[in-house]
Structure 1
Amino acid sequence: MAVFKNFFSKFYNTAGAPPEIFNRTLYFAIFVFGILGCARGYDEGYIGGIVTKSSFKNQFGLNDPTKTATELANLKSNITSMVILGSIGGSLLAMYFVDKFGRIRTLQGVCVGWIVAVVIQITSKKIGQLYVGRLMEGLCIGQTVVIGPCYLSEIAPKNIRGLANCIFAGAVYFGSFMSNFINYGCALHMPASSSKQWVVPTAIKIVIAGFLLVGSFLCHESPRWLVKSGNVEKSGLVLSKIRHLPEDHPYILSEVSDIQEQLYVEKEATGKVSKLKALKELFFVKSIRYRILLALSAQILGQWSCAGSITVYMPELVALVGVRGTKKLLYSAILGVVKFSSAYIGAFFVIDFLGRKKALYLGMTIQFLATLYVALFFQIVPQATDDDYTMTGSKKHAGVGALAMLFMTGVGWTLGWNSIQYLINSEMLPLGVRNIGTALIMAFHFANQYGNTKALPTMLISLTPAGTFFFASAVLLLGLFWAWFFLPEIAGRSLESMEDLFDLPWYVIGRKGAKLCPDNSGIAHIREAEEGNLDIKSEQDFVENVSQVSVEYDLEKGV
């Protein structure tokens, strides 16, 4: 445990934070909800290999000689994209379940549903049953991208909140590389005609879901959800267990007070928030609208930089630069390892150490240069896309460079967009609309992912491979401007301090917001409280302060 504490104190700004808050209870909760990210990554990594296996193709009609090439392509795309389609609905379901039942109970329900969905798939004999199983799996996986980031943002101290969320984001690639190697191993050691080649990799999902289900029973519910549910007393007790501090410690009192004050201010300003009213707030309350548009634009720019599609279509893309045979599956597995490694390097040493904006700058720059190289390669050597063309001399060396750059796009993606697209959603949004906002954003995320995944094969034909990668390069350049002008630095801020930041004029939030509006929440001044120079608010003071805020709000609005 001392090793972890020394690590955090060395690489993170933990000044003013009691050392007790970095403890095994916190680490275990971050591990369980962080590894939840592999639920999505496992399917993304394994399905591309599964649909190429002869036993699977024979079982579900992908080798049917009576079907046209177009019909077979549509059948294949329907199988691969069914989980993504289900995930859109799952994200929307999460906005109700996570709020109604809490983060822990929702995760447990998701794990049970996921196990049932996998059983349906591995017992499938007809394509219809397979569709049902994969659609049901999508409904479960779609909820994980809401549950995980929300819970991690709400329990992690602000000093390591970026790390906690990036563990979730990086676990996507843990699942991806694990499934790719399982696919590759099954292809090497099982008969091609055996259904075990696709049943075994699918059944591994039951093991993952079972581990998460058991682990969830050892975690504590989010204190912020408990406050929102009206259980303030229990929230203090749970927070003291997560932080390993007494309930009357200034840090615990300040954190609970900050949560209460933020929630009360929201309620005083907007009244009791129904789902419909929360949806209206996302687009009609100025400060929240800026945040939701920021998150939605991040999804568009991130997904259409094409890094996610490169993961899905890696076997086809490495073939474009001269890789043939079973090595295509091996290179897909290696891409998973590269993304997994770089994601966790970013999580532990970049996202909180450099900050959100600098990490995104670094990731996008690497991704842009790598994508541009691949685009230039295809522009100069267009014959590389021909199956019967063999590169020699300098073209062969350039092809090796293009293969390396495909891996580097993954490095840039995991350091930049992949972390930001999960992190800023759960960090920026107010507690009252956090669940519904994150759910809406992630539904939009899956819709973009589905569109980009479906579009890439067509783009490679209509735009040519060179044009497709030039398009992705242009999106990345636009993303660099977006990050500079619109995205504020929110590393190290408490969740309850976001409102003041986003109340600034929209045109200064991204460039100057962090300097103009520093964090003035209670836990930001905990060292003063411990030294006796800062009074922790009593319940009476708290109510009076909230009332004063309400009066000021009414005067501002002319009520």
Structure 2
Amino acid sequence: MSILSLVEDRPTPKEVYNWRIYLLAAIASFTSCMIGYDSAFIGTTISLQSFKDEFNWDSYSPDQQNLISANIVSLYQAGAFFGAFFAYPIGHFWGRRWGLVSAAVIFTLGAGIMLGANGDRGLGLIYGGRVLAGLGVGAGSNITPIYISELAPPAIRGRLVGVYELGWQIGGLVGFWICFGVDDTLAPSHKQWIIPFAVQLIPSGLLLLGIFFVRESPRWLFLRGRREEAIKTLCWVRQLPEDHIYMVEEIGAIDASLEHQRSTIGLGFTKPFLAVWSNKRILYRLFIGSMLFLWQNGSGINAINYYSPTVFKSIGLRGANTSLLTTGIFGVVKTVVTFIWLLWLIDHLGRRLLLLIGAAGGSICLWVVGAYICVAKPTERPDDAPLEGGGIAAMFFFYLWTVFYTPSWNGTPWVMNSEMFDPNVRSLAQACAAGSNWLWNFLISRFTPQMFAAMGYGVYFFFASLMILSIIFVFFLVPETKGIPLESMDGLFEHKPIWHAHAKVLAKLREDEAIFRRDIEESGFSKTADERLEQTETAVPKVDA
């Protein structure tokens, strides 16, 4: 099988892989542009001299500076943690589309509040705006992966949910480079540091404009009993008529899944909460999904994203402009590799193998970087000393770590959490997964400055060790989910050992597909409505008047 061949659960008409599905995913993924931009711009912006001058940075001790930096960064994650759970009732009662609208409006309000901050007013507006913006992106991190996965055909579900990750990286790329741009082209002033804050309004504004094109999730409509609207929307997304055999199969699978949910968990708002505590199968998957984000943040990515100037300084780089340039290159590498992950790797190599390779390669790179800092002690060199050969090698391994991490742990946990839960539990499960992400994100961003101050090169050894532990976790507990329909995820987690589950479930699906198609063909329903009418008219003799 070619690496570029799609793994389909059943024969899929080419009309299903159409432009509408990609456009809907792209519009929804403006939520991740908001997240990615923030993760990149905030650490570099508060390192600008103009920002420090306006808020009298030199009047604080180093410990106070670290505390203020950590508070500015981490309040956003704290808001996002609560926003992830806040989105659950919105997504359940009002739908995925209105969830996206709510996320954009709340984020826009928070970003606007931050623009009122200056030296006279102090940092209060930035703190408040960061919490509010965090609520918005937390809600978006819950709703968007669910929305995309519920629209996606199984064979390209990873690619489409990967558009969410691509939006994250594009936002990050802009965030990394905009600070270099204002630092390089503008004199230190209020305008220099406020521009990066203002750019936050662009992705949320684009989402509010694009929402007029967005259709509601068909699976959510089925869940709420709006069957006719759900079928009409699903046919619009798939660009196939309702009586096409592919649509008959998909609608039948959704109906069967909902009926199973109705008879086991139930379809009410509180039923998923009861199911989580009473159903070990769901609790196990919830544990898997939440732990994936522990290991994701345990790679050190958010320490690097939010405090990249500090990271590059620890390797031996000097000068604010040089640090910003190096950070910008880091953003370029992440974005380029994300394109490769999105277009080829996620739906061809699969989720499980990517996680294993990424953790192994990334761990080796961090051990090398930490060892260099331990031996060479680059932070003790004079400020005007050039980067030596060992430092260049450390930079190479740092960027190599980016190449390993980005197509594996950066987006794959989001893909897996969006696809491995039953319909009525999916929104609550995604809220828990997103909440887990923001919890670990908060802890890392809150204590990274103190970790570097206290541990030095040990920070790299710490994250490298966590990546080794993640290999053990994935190998024994995480199944492959690529190409498996959302309605068939239960069977995937029932097979043991876990590394054989994917092949067994896919074989069973193809066997069931062959039986179903044979029955359909024998009944004549596989023909179009016009063909069936013509067949009926031919079979029934006309009676003369």
**1:80 alignment counterpart:** 73
Conserved 8 A contact 1:16-1:525: no
Q: 1:459 to 1:76 in 2, by over 3 A?
A: closer
Taking the aligned partners of 2:99 and 2:474, their CA distance within structure 1 comes to 33
Q: Give the match for residue 96 of structure 1.
A: 89
User: Paired residue for 2:224?
Assistant: 229
In 1, distance between residues paired with 2:149 and 2:507? 17
Distance 1:524 1:99, change over 3 A: farther
- Give the structure 2 partner of residue 129 of structure 1: 125
Counterpart position of 1:482: 473
| Residue 186 of structure 1: aligned partner | 182
What's 1:405 paired with?
A: 397
Give 1:365's match in structure 2, choosing from 360, 363, 377.
360
**Mapped partners of 2:524, 2:46: distance in 1:** 60
Secondary structure of the structure 2 residue equivalent to 1:37: helix
Pair 1:278 & 2:269 matched: no
Q: Secondary structure at 2:434's aligned position in 1? A: helix
Among 205, 220, 242, the residue aligned to 2:200: 205
- Is 1:493 equivalent to 2:484 in the alignment? yes
Q: State which of 281, 284, 291 in structure 2 corresponds to 1:287.
A: 281
- 8 Å CA contact 1:98–1:106 kept in 2: the answer is yes
2:407 corresponds to which residue?
A: 415
Give the conservation status (yes or no) of the 8 Å contact 1:46–1:201.
Answer: yes
> Gapped runs of 5+ residues in structure 1?
1-7, 539-559
Matched, 1:457 2:449: yes
Contact 1:362 1:415 in 2 (8 A): no
Distance apart, 1:39 and its partner CA? 1.1
Spell out, residue by residue over 1:305-348, the C-alpha distance to the aligned partner (whole angstroms, 9 max, x if none): 21221222221121122211111011111111111111121111
Q: Name which of structure 1's ranges 290-299 and 52-61 shifts more when overlaid on structure 2.
A: 52-61
Helix, strand or coil: the match of 1:36? helix
User: In the superposition, relative to structure 1, how do residues 180 and 271 fare at CA in structure 2: closer, same or farther (>3 Å)?
Assistant: closer
Matched to 1:211, the amino acid is: L
User: CA offsets per residue over residues 64-101 of structure 1, 9 Å max, x none?
Assistant: x2x43322322222112221111011111011111121
CA distance in 1, matches of 2:74, 2:207: 24
Q: Distance in 2 between matches of 1:37 and 1:148?
A: 8
Contact kept in structure 2, 1:254 and 1:523, CA below 8 Å: no
Counterparts in 2 of 1:21-170, with a 5 A limit? Answer: 21-63=16-58, 65=59, 67-125=60-118, 126=121, 127-170=123-166
Code of the residue aligned with 2:343 in structure 1: it is F
Q: What code does the residue aligned with 1:72 have? A: Q
Q: For 1:183 and 1:518, how far apart are their aligned partners in 2?
A: 48
In structure 2, distance between residues paired with 1:536 and 1:129: 67
What secondary structure, in the 3-state scheme, does the structure 2 residue paired with 1:457 have?
A: helix
- Structure 2 distance, partners of 1:182, 1:361, is 34
**Corresponding residue for 2:424?**
432
Q: Match for residue 374 of structure 2?
A: 379
Matched with 1:337 is 332
Which residue in the other structure is 1:548 paired with?
Answer: none
Relative to structure 1, the CA distance from residue 70 to residue 480 in structure 2 (aligned partners, 3 Å threshold; closer, same or farther) is same
Decide whether aligned partners of structure 1 residues 438 and 416 sit closer, same or farther in structure 2, where only a CA change above 3 A counts: same
Report the equivalent of 1:4.
Answer: none
Are residues 1:17 and 2:4 paired? no
Which amino acid is 1:102 matched to? G
Partner of residue 263 from structure 2, selected from 248, 265, 268: 268
SS of the residue aligned with 1:17?
coil
Give, in whole Å, the separation in 2 of the partners of 1:47 and 1:308.
12
Match for 2:500: what amino acid?
K
Paired residue type of 1:318:
F
Alignment pair present for 1:299 and 2:287: no
The answer for the alignment partner of 1:512 in structure 2 is 500
Report the Cα distance in structure 1 between the residues aligned to 2:418 and 2:304, rounded to whole angstroms: 26
Distance 2:179 2:129 in 1: 20
TM-superposed deviation, 1:524: 7.4
Which moved further from structure 2: 522-531 or 336-345? 522-531
Structure 2 residue ranges without an equivalent (≥5): 527-545
Residues 343-366 of structure 1 show CA distances to partners (whole Å, capped at 9, x for unaligned) of 121111111111111222222232
Q: TM-score, normalised by structure 2?
A: 0.90
- Aligned equivalents of 2:512 and 2:102: distance in 1? 36
- For 1:253, the equivalent position in structure 2 comes to 248
Residues 367 and 412, structure 1, Cα contact 8 Å, conserved in 2: yes
Contact 1:528-1:534 at 8 Å conserved across structures: no
Does the Cα contact within 8 Å between 1:488 and 1:509 map onto a contact in 2? no
> Is 1:529 the equivalent of 2:517?
yes
Q: Deviations over 1:482-520 (max 9, x none)?
A: 11111111100000001122234xxx2522222343365
Q: How many pairs does the alignment contain?
A: 520
Kindly indicate whether residue 318 of structure 2 is the aligned counterpart of residue 324 of structure 1: yes
**In structure 1, what is the Cα distance between the partners aligned to 2:99 and 2:170?**
23
